[in-house]
Every structure is written in structure tokens, then in C-alpha cells.
Amino acid sequence: MRYNRLALYGLLILAAIMIMAPVFIMISTSLKSMDEIRNGSIFALPADPGFAAWGKAWFGDCSQALGDQCGGLSSSFLTSVKIVIPALILSVGLGAITGYALAAWKMKWANVMFAALLVGMFIPPQVTLYPLIIMIRELGIFGSIPGLILVHVIWGVAFTTMMFRNFFKTVPEDLLKAARIDGAGFWRLFWHVMLPLSLPILGVAMILQFTYIWNDFLLGLTFGGRSGQPMTVALNNLVGSQFGEKEYNVDMAATMLTALPTLAVYLLSGRLFVRGIAAGAVKG
Amino acid sequence: MADPAQGVLQRSVENDAIQKTGRRRWRPQWTARMALIPAMTITIVCFYGFIIWTFVISLTRSRLLPVYKFTGFDQYVRLFANERWWTSMQNLAIHGFLFIGGCMVFGYLLAILIDRRVKAEGMYRTIFMLPLSMSFIVTGVIWQWVMNPGLGLQEAVRALGWDSFEFNWIVRPDRAIYTLAIAGIWQQVGLCMALFLAGLRNIDPNIWKASRVDGIPVWRVYLHIITPMLRTVFFTVFILMSAIVMKAFDLVVALTGGGPGFSSDLPARFVVDHILNRQELGLGAAGAFVLLCTVIAVISPYIYFELKKERGGRGH
């Protein structure tokens, strides 16, 4: 029995080490100099840790600058922030209202529409990519931040609606009836009864949408153009197109910088993330 | 008569009349319908309308821009004669099998380990799910560095004295596809673990009591009693992982770039490449539509069960 427990912990610790090793390698590589990387093992701790590579990843290298572009991630970080905040609020807000309307107001086509939305969550984005490009171009917002925000709202609404609708379905019918008898209309019922009830699910939806939008690559690549490049796209370009010798420490620092916001949200939100990820997994 | 204030007054009087005659629920219902318009528009236009549009494009000879000269199923004939497409479909099968299988097996094992009432359970859970919060691009870039044949894992192990150690899969056309599964499993195994763990925690504790009384070894309880009970969880996890595999684009771009050559290409990347870079709109659309059919074939049982569950749930 004791050996069993020992083996159990042994396996768990082994698995934890295997999961953490790449993260450790990323951080330690970003703190090394290129000389140290060339001569040492990837598993070795940095002998003389420094943030030079982080600075270069963030600000770029202005000695090799083309025009006023130094190639750092700082500008695409700002772009990502400008995309993620409005897209987050709009997609979660629209999902909350739609989910509430579908769940609390009996309508003939509510279930058909919900099913249509549910299927929509599984459609690979590649399938509707080109028509979406044409639509965004016709609206005159292709290659800009508003364009990307709209695309993220379109792709996010199915998922946020599903979360809220499933939650609002669990609200007791009697509560809704009582509110209606008191004369609460659509919006009053939403603001004063349903939304306050849904605070936990609101948190879950916000956290997951933040993670999805921040981590998106395909939409940013397609719709961002030059001025709307989010951080993931900038990271991929940085890693893919370095002239001369590859600077792995800068690559890893840039990777770490891109991962930090979602990592921080994950570590701070803890249980909410875990709760939501199961429901949101379908979006992948 | 044309006084707007008059109109407003008139309408409010009408509203009062409606409310007094007991038809007061008409107005909020109407608002509810209005509130559905944005989401409904997105669903009808941007999901289903655009799918039809893509299908129509796939029937034309469109290259750089859509032209509506129909050529029947020529693009599909070209697609199925395209070697790169077959490579990517074959890769999808290999990657799908390894990734889904790996995630499920390791995810289930980790869930069982955690389910054995370990100390600091929260810490292990946090660690196993940590990669989930990162982008596939981040995962791809990290693993590209770890598997770098010159300075990465291969060199580190050789430096320890095992000179003949070889791990250069990422630059080998016959092995590059397996690196995708390694990085993919690393990222998604935590999700499978969380779903399985939730299932394990829902198991009736009496089953454990009964099996202890009968003296059945723990591993046999898991294998013969618990696992069959979790078949719906297995089904859900399988569907979720399949959906991820078929959309897989970011990871292959960041990890191998589809290379060496097209040896680790996947259909999702094939489609994007032909639509965005190669001016082969019709061919890309055909690929996209085939991809969609594959997705539908896999997820339709899931949607069916979801909706059936829904209908059953409303019965009581």
C-alpha cells in the first residue's frame, strides 16, 4: 500500500515535470545570452541571467530598423489590447442578451435557433473565411482594428450565447413569472434579475473570451493587415523571419511576453477558468 | 394632427389600453424578438449563408477573385488529384489518431492519479492545465526550440554522454508530423484531464465501498467498472478533441510551417494557403467544403445527443 502511494506521487511529479519543462526552458532561455545558449544545454539554468533579450523582444532592434519600425512586440501588444477589450465586451454582452432572450422568453423558433448556433460553433473558420473577407472589405474595415473586433464578435457570439443560455435555463420559471407579474419588461428583467444572477457565468465567459481572442492567430493573420497585427501574428513573424543568425533568447522572450497576459489571467482566476474551460472546450 | 407629441400621447394611451385588456405581454415579447436580431443575422448570414457561398465558389473556376463561371465539380476533381491535399488528409488521420488517442489516454491516467485523493491536488491540476491558457502559436514556438536538432533536446542529451541519441524529427519529412502530436498533447492533455476528473468525481461512492468489500483490486475497478460508466464523458472528450484537430492551423504554422516541404501539412493549412496566398480560390473553397463535411460527419452524433438530452430534460 505504501509503495502504491509512493508510485502514485512519483508518477504525478514526473507528469508535472514533463508539463513544466518546456515552460522552464522558455523562461531560462530568454534570460541567457546567445553565447551561453550555443555552448550550454537547454536544461541548464542561466549562469548570468539578464533581461537584454526581453528588451530586444519588446522594443525591437532599432539599429536594423526599416523606417520607424524597430520590429519589437510593443506596438502589436497595444493592438491586441485594443482588439481584445471591445471584442470581449461586445461578444459577451451580445451573448448574454441573446442567451437570455432564448432562455427566458418563450418563442417559437428559440430551440431551432439555438441548435443552429450550436452547430455554428463547430464550423472550422476556414470554411467561411473568404466570404467574411469580402464582407469586411465591403464594410471598409479590412486590415483595421474595428474589422478584427467585428470578426471576433461574429466568431465569439455562438459560444457566449451557449454559456448564458444554458445558465439562464436553470433559473426557476417561478422567479421569471413573479417578475413579469410585477410588470418587469424585457430589459428590466434582464438588468435587475437575470444579470445579477449570472455574475459567476459572466466571469467565466469573460475569462475564456479573453483567452480565445488574445490567443487567436488565424483571424489576426487574415483580417489584421499591417496596421492591425495582433501579438500572436507578430510573434510568428518575429520567429519566422529573422535575418542573419537566429536569436533564440529573443524568440523565447517574445514568446513569454505573448503568453504572459493569458497566463496571468489563468493563474489569477484559477477555479473560474477550470469551470469554464469544460463548457468552452468546443471552441478550441 | 401632425403634431408628434400628439402621436406619442396617442401611443401611450394605446399601451395602457393593451395593458388593461390583458395583452400586456405582447410588448416585451416583441423586444425579445428584436434582441435576437443581431445573433440571428450572424448565424444565418455569417455561418450558413457563407457556407453556401463557399460551396458556390467551389463550383467555379475562381482564382484570385470570385468569378461565377460554373465548372461543375472540376475543382473537387483537381483537389482529389492534388498530391499535397492527400498528404494533408493522410497527416490529419495520423495526427488525429495520435493526438486524440494521446490526449485521452494520458488525460484519463492523470485524472485517475488525481482522483486517488492526493495531497496538493490543486497544484497538480493547475500545472496540468497551465499550457491550455497559452496560444497554439506560443506552444509551437516553444516546442520548435525544444526540438531544435542543433541546440535543443538532442544536443542536451548528447552532452550528457549518450552520443548516438537522435531526436531530429522536426527536420525529417517522415517524422515531422509526429512532432505536432507531441506539442498538441502537451497543450491539450489538461483539458481531457479536467473533463475526466469531473466524470470520476460524479461516480457514486458506494461503488468504491462495494468493490472494497469484495476485495477487487483498484486497477480492475477502474478498468471494468468505472471506465464503462464514463462512456459519455469519453464520447464528449473525443468530439471536442476531434473538433480541435480538424481546425488545427496555428500549431502547424508555428511548429513546422507544414514542412519540411509539405510533409507535415494539414487540410486547414492547405485551405488557408490556397485562399490567401496561392490565388486558388476555387480549389481552396473545395478543400474547405470537404473539411466541413468531415467535421459534420464526426460531430453530428454529438449534436443529436445534445438536442435529445435537451428534449428529455424538459420533460419533468
A interface mutation test: which of B20, B135, B170 has the most A CBs within 10 A?
A: B135
Question: Quick count: other Cβ atoms within 10 Å of Cβ B139?
Answer: 25
Q: How many domains, in total, are found in chain B?
A: 1
In a domain, A59, yes or no: no
A79/A162 same-domain check? yes
What does the pLDDT read at residue B27?
67
Q: Is the pLDDT of residue B133 over 80?
A: yes
Q: If DSSP codes are grouped into helix, strand and coil, which group holds residue A60?
A: strand
CB B176 within 8 A of CB B97: no
- Rounded Cα–Cα distance for residues B172 and B168 (Å): 7
In a domain, B8, yes or no: no
In a domain, A56, yes or no: no
Which range (A15-19, A36-40, A102-106, A277-281) has the least confidence? A277-281
Q: Is B68 on the interface with A (CB under 8 A)?
A: no
In a domain, B282, yes or no: yes
Single-letter code of the amino acid located at B176: A
Q: How many domains, in total, are found in chain A?
A: 2
In a domain, B145, yes or no: yes
A22/A136 same-domain check? no
- Rounded Cα–Cα distance for residues B129 and B109 (Å): 14
Percent of all residues in chain A with a pLDDT value above 70, rounded to a whole number: 91
pLDDT in tens, B67-82: 888 888 888 988 898 8
CB contact under 8 A, A122 and B299: yes
What does the pLDDT read at residue A283?
42
Choice between B17 and A24, residue whose per-residue pLDDT is larger: A24
Q: Which three cell numbers stand for residue A169?
A: 435555463
Q: Is the peptide bond before B260 cis (omega within 30 degrees of 0)?
A: yes
Q: What is the CATH number of the domain that holds B202?
A: 1.10.3720.10
CB contact under 8 A, B142 and A128: no
What does the pLDDT read at residue B136?
94
Mean pLDDT of all residues in A214-233: 90
B interface mutation test: which of A12, A191, A209, A241 has the most B CBs within 10 A?
A: A12
A32/A150 same-domain check? no
A34/A119 same-domain check? no
Tell me phi and psi for residue B160, to 5 degrees: -75, -10
In a domain, A174, yes or no: yes
Q: Is B202 on the interface with A (CB under 8 A)?
A: no
What does the pLDDT read at residue A35?
83
What does the pLDDT read at residue B93?
93
In a domain, A60, yes or no: no
CB B214 within 8 A of CB B165: no
What does the pLDDT read at residue A2?
76
Across chain B, how many H-helices and E-strands are there? 17, 0
In a domain, A45, yes or no: yes
The whole domain housing B231 covers 78-313
Minimal C-alpha gap between B223 and chain A (Å): 17
What does the pLDDT read at residue B315?
36
The whole domain housing A32 covers 2-50
- With CA atoms as reference, report the closest residue to B185 among B133, B135, B139: B139
What does the pLDDT read at residue A122?
84
DSSP B46: I
What is the SS3 string spanning B13-28?
A: HHHHHHHHCCCCCHHH
A119/A213 same-domain check? yes
In a domain, A65, yes or no: no
Single-letter code of the amino acid located at B6: Q
pTM: 0.88
A43/A95 same-domain check? no
A106/A219 same-domain check? yes
Which range (A120-124, A219-223, B105-109) has the least confidence? A120-124
Tell me phi and psi for residue B70, to 5 degrees: -80, 140
Q: Is the pLDDT of residue B7 over 60?
A: no
Tell me phi and psi for residue A84, to 5 degrees: -70, -40
Average pLDDT, chain B: 84
